[in-house]
Amino acid sequence: MSENIICLCKGISEEAIVKAIKEGATSIEAVKEKTEATTGPCKGSRCISKIEELIEKHK
């Protein structure tokens, strides 16, 4: 079973992001602090919309 990588620059999986959301990270900034997603070279241009969708789905 392969992981669904959401933040390609940092290699952060959907599972890690959902875990952070369920632990209370209900904003992009909070997910960033818990997972380092959006801190790579693209600064989130590739993954912010996916993370926002996950926040809405799992908060």
pLDDT in tens, 4-36: 999 999 999 999 999 999 999 999 999 999 999
pLDDT for 1 equals: 43
Question: Alpha-carbon distance 30 to 2, whole Å?
Answer: 26
Q: How far apart are CA 58 and CA 4, in angstroms?
A: 16
Tell me the chain's radius of gyration from C-alpha atoms.
10
Name 12's bridge partners: 7
**pLDDT value at residue 3:** 82
The single-letter DSSP state of residue 42 is T
Instruction: Answer whether 15's CB lies under 8 Å from 39's CB.
Output: no
Please report the pLDDT score of residue 10 as a whole number: 96
Say what angle helices 14-22 and 28-35 make with each other, to 10 degrees. 110
Mean pLDDT of 44-52: 95
